[in-house]
């Protein structure tokens, strides 16, 4: 096929050039269709809040229970607010178990709690049923199930919810996009393209259809997130092929590993207790990986953040991102335990310290921003966040003082055109070549930025602008913003704070990483050497991006949409 296309281009150069011009318009239209349909479906499909039961307070009213985890207390921020002085600000926690069963836990309240006359131990959780008598600070209450009429109304409301968009038309559009990408790359690169690179894009198309067909047959309906990821991964393989076609197959293998890890994580995340129990193991593995990186790491682009094994290399810090989010998340019960908070703070400090020693300032910033977001979701305490940011500022100044390579990047920030032939070489070339791509790009394989160092990783936004155009580059950024907005929306209807914090943690990593990559490439931020999720070349980055998608899927409460939600739970 490659030889036939090359012969065609050689025999009909004008026609091949016209075909490339038409392709650029079609690429932009297809990209807009694929992504906007997926984005609109993802953000417009809501999960209707449901009433799971009522918390009945003697002489105090009836409170509908609409969350899986509910804080009961005097504070206005409590899910069930009982404004009596005998109640503690956060008195107790009520968690839904299903089948008219609930878990109840006293949160170390001042006046204590009793169930059916039995005083509760604050260190234990208790299984209760509807009708059990609950006494909190002299307040008598009980849990009552939702009425039959309300249960039927819940079912009606579920059926009224807008269903996720069917995947088939989007799949066809992505497949057409991939087929045209192969043709464009062959015409643009000529004999420098490899058979392995072409086969990688074709195999990605097959994997995409197999994935959707299998899980569609299993009753799943929501594939918008995967469609977004498959499209961005197509751009990734095209970028990799254009810059280094011998690396495309390795990138495809990393994608497969990431997809498999995402599926595994989705299934594993279904069981919350099982997921919580693995966190000590994740802490241990993360510590070992970072220490190995410190001892045996090799320097690349000024940072000691790579481990080389033969001809292969990987970034341990990318894998630690997955653990960092899972370790930081917690159920409401865990968020009220000081030991749990201190453990996460200590682990975060260790990670940031290791990254600072490695000189990986960009990844350290991503971890720190994620820590800030997760810490706020855990506590809601602004004063604590201000102290944390102040401490981090002092730490950052120390890093700049003792890491000249990092300091040099900050020194040219905002002045790269004054240093166009040395420290500002990468950014000035990125802006020049990126602007040359215009709205539609020069065509895959036709760019010149690929000859600049780190063009397919740190500078990939400019790479996409030059070869694919400003429209597609902006749409890729919009994809990351969409996933982040979906994570925020999940807070309202999430099964547990554990899942919503995981989704928001993953969103903060994706979003801030994209900001650093895009703004760093065009000199709005210092160039920090971080990747664009799904788009930048790099096996570890690709694997981690796909695996991170599991956290978004776990927060998706739409009916039959998520692999991470068992069907019987989703219909409860």
Closest among 236, 256, 260 to 247, alpha carbons compared? 236
C-alpha dihedral (500, 505, 510, 511), degrees to nearest 10: 90
pLDDT higher than 50, residue 571 = no
Closest among 267, 265, 272, 281 to 332, alpha carbons compared? 272
User: Could you read off the pLDDT of 262-272 as tens digits, one per residue?
Assistant: 999 999 988 88
Answer yes or no: pTM beyond 0.85: yes
* Rama region for 184: left / alpha / beta (φ>0; ψ in -120 to 50; rest): alpha
Name the helix (H) or strand (E) containing 194.
none
Longest Cα–Cα distance of the chain, Å, equals: 91
User: Could you read off the pLDDT of 546-555 as tens digits, one per residue?
Assistant: 999 999 998 8
pLDDT band for position 464 (cuts 50, 70, 90): very high
pLDDT band for position 568 (cuts 50, 70, 90): very low
Q: Give the mean pLDDT of 92-109.
A: 84
pLDDT at 508: 92
Enumerate residues 6+ apart whose C-beta is below 8 A from 113. Answer: 91, 92, 104, 106, 119, 120, 134, 135, 136, 137
pLDDT higher than 80, residue 534 = yes
User: Could you read off the pLDDT of 313-371 as tens digits, one per residue?
Assistant: 788 889 999 999 999 888 777 777 777 778 888 888 888 888 878 877 788 888 888 88
- For residue 314, count other CB atoms closer than 10 A to its CB: 20
The domains found in the chain, sorted by start residue, are 7-45+162-570 (no CATH), 53-160 (2.60.200.20)
User: Could you read off the pLDDT of 29-60 as tens digits, one per residue?
Assistant: 999 999 999 888 888 766 566 778 889 988 76
Token code pair at residue 81: 């607010």
pLDDT at 90: 86
pLDDT higher than 50, residue 569 = no
Rounded to the nearest 10 degrees, the angle between the axes of helix 425-436 and helix 497-521 is 90
pLDDT at 129: 86
User: Could you read off the pLDDT of 306-323 as tens digits, one per residue?
Assistant: 788 777 778 888 999 999
The alpha carbon of 149 is separated from its chain's Cα centroid by a whole number of angstroms, namely 38
pLDDT band for position 146 (cuts 50, 70, 90): confident
Q: What angle do CA 34, 4, 210 make, to 5 degrees?
A: 35
**Residue 561 backbone phi and psi in degrees, to 5:** -90, -30
User: Could you read off the pLDDT of 168-191 as tens digits, one per residue?
Assistant: 999 999 999 999 999 899 888 888
pLDDT higher than 60, residue 518 = yes
User: Could you read off the pLDDT of 440-454 as tens digits, one per residue?
Assistant: 999 888 889 999 988
* C-alpha span between 249 and 237 (Å, rounded): 9
Closest among 494, 479, 515 to 32, alpha carbons compared? 479
Residues 438, 470: contact at Cβ < 8 Å? yes
* C-alpha span between 570 and 154 (Å, rounded): 12
Residues 65, 51: contact at Cβ < 8 Å? yes
Q: What angle do CA 232, 236, 242 make, to 5 degrees?
A: 140
Residues 416, 406: contact at Cβ < 8 Å? no
* C-alpha span between 496 and 410 (Å, rounded): 41
Please state which of the ranges 159-163, 373-377, 504-508 shows the lowest mean pLDDT. 159-163
């Amino acid at each position: 096929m490659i030889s036939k296309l090359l012969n065609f281009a050689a025999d009909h150069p004008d026609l091949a050039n016209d075909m490339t011009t038409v392709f650029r318009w079609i690429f932009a239209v297809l990209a807009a269709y694929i992504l906007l349909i997926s984005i609109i479906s993802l953000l417009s499909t809501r999960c209707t809040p449901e009433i799971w039961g009522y918390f009945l307070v003697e002489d105090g009213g009836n409170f509908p229970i609409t969350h899986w985890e509910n804080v009961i207390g005097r504070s206005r921020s409590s899910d069930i607010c009982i404004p009596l002085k005998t109640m503690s600000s956060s008195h107790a926690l009520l968690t839904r178990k299903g089948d008219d069963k609930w878990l109840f836990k006293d949160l170390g309240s001042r006046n204590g709690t009793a169930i059916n006359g039995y005083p509760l131990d604050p260190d234990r959780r208790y299984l209760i049923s509807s009708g059990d008598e609950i006494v909190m600070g002299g307040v008598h209450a009980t849990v009552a199930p939702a009425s039959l009429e309300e249960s039927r109304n819940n079912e009606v409301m579920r059926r009224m919810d807008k269903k996720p968009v069917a995947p088939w038309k989007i799949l066809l559009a992505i497949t057409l996009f991939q087929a045209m990408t192969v043709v464009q790359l062959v015409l643009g690169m000529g004999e420098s393209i490899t058979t392995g690179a072409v086969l990688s894009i074709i195999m990605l198309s097959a994997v995409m259809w197999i994935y959707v067909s299998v899980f569609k047959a299993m009753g799943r309906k929501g594939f918008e997130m995967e469609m977004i990821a498959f499209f961005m991964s197509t751009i990734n393989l095209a970028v990799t092929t254009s810059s280094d076609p011998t690396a495309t197959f390795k990138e495809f293998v990393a994608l497969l590993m990431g997809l498999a890890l995402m599926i595994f994580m989705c299934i594993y995340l279904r069981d919350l207790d099982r997921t919580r129990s693995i966190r000590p193991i994740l802490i241990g593995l993360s510590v070992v990986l970072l220490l190995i990186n410190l001892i045996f790491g090799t320097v690349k682009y000024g940072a000691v953040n790579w481990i080389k094994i033969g001809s292969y290399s990987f970034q341990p810090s990318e894998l630690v991102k997955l653990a960092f989010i899972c370790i930081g998340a917690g159920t409401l019960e865990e968020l009220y335990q000081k030991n749990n908070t201190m453990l996460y703070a200590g682990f975060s400090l260790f990670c940031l310290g290791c990254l600072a020693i490695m000189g990986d300032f960009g990844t350290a910033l991503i971890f720190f921003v994620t820590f800030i977001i997760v810490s706020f979701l855990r506590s809601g305490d602004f004063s604590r966040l201000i102290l944390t940011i102040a401490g981090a500022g002092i730490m950052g100044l120390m890093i700049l003082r003792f890491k000249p390579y990092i300091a040099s990047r900050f020194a040219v920030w905002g002045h790269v055109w004054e240093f166009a032939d040395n420290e500002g070489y990468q950014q000035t070339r990125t802006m020049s070549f990126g602007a040359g791509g215009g709205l539609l790009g020069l065509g895959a394989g036709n760019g010149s930025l690929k000859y600049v160092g780190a063009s397919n990783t740190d500078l990939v936004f400019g790479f996409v602008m030059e070869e694919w155009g400003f429209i597609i580059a902006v749409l890729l950024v919009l994809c990351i913003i969409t996933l982040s907005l979906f994570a925020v929306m999940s807070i309202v209807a999430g099964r547990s704070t554990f899942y919503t914090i995981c989704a928001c943690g993953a969103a903060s990593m994706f979003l801030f990483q994209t900001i650093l990559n895009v703004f760093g490439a065009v000199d709005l931020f210092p160039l920090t050497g971080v990747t664009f999720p799904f788009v930048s070349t790099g096996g570890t980055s690709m694997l981690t991006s796909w695996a991170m998608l599991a956290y978004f899927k776990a927060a998706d409460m739409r009916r039959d949409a998520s692999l991470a939600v068992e069907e019987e739970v989703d219909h409860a």
